[in-house]
Amino acid sequence: MLNCSGPTLPQAPAARGPRAGMCRPALGRWLVWGLWGLCLSGPAWSQKPADGLTHTCVRIMRDATFNETIEKMCSFKGDVSERFKDTFKKRKCVSKVNQAEQDRIKAEVYANTTEQKNMVGLKDFCLVHKSAYHNL
């Protein structure tokens, strides 16, 4: 084991630079951890990034699902979700977001919306979203 209690920077003017006071084994550990993190993030690099239309389609899908959920929970009338669904179809998003991804998005949005409703209660949840919903 290396003893890192050697001379400090003022006592050893030859040791300069950002890591001058750092012990060599500590530098090695940082390097190992950095390489390990790089390896773990490797699969993310190999994924093809979504194009702008796909990203837009996913957002439209999320908005449609959210508005459909609050329409049912809060008995909102206005069919905002139907307008989002029409936009989804008009932009040919069905070819950009497959059915499995649509189902995953719907389940995720429904779970998040239900969790929000449960945290504040149905009455307060509906009051918070009422004006924004009716402004769409």
| Residues in the chain, total | 136
Is 45:85 a contact under the CB 8 Å cutoff? no
Asked if residue 39 belongs to a domain, the reply is yes
pLDDT at residue 65 greater than cutoff 90: yes
Same-domain check for residues 43 and 58: no
2 found inside a domain: no
pLDDT tens-place string over residues 84-124: 999 999 988 988 899 999 999 999 999 999 999 999 999 99
Q: Check the CA dihedral 82-111-51-96 and report its sign.
A: negative
Burial class (CB in 10 A: 0-12, 13-18, 19+), 128: middle
119 lies in some domain: yes
99 and 59: one domain?
yes
pLDDT in tens, 39-58: 444 443 334 445 666 889 99
Residue 1: inside a domain: no
Q: Is there a single domain that holds both residue 62 and residue 122?
A: yes
Please give the tally of structural domains in the chain: 2
Q: Over the stretch 17-30, which tens digit does the pLDDT of each residue have?
A: 555 554 555 544 54
Parent domain of 40:
7-47
pTM metric for this prediction: 0.60
69: in domain: yes
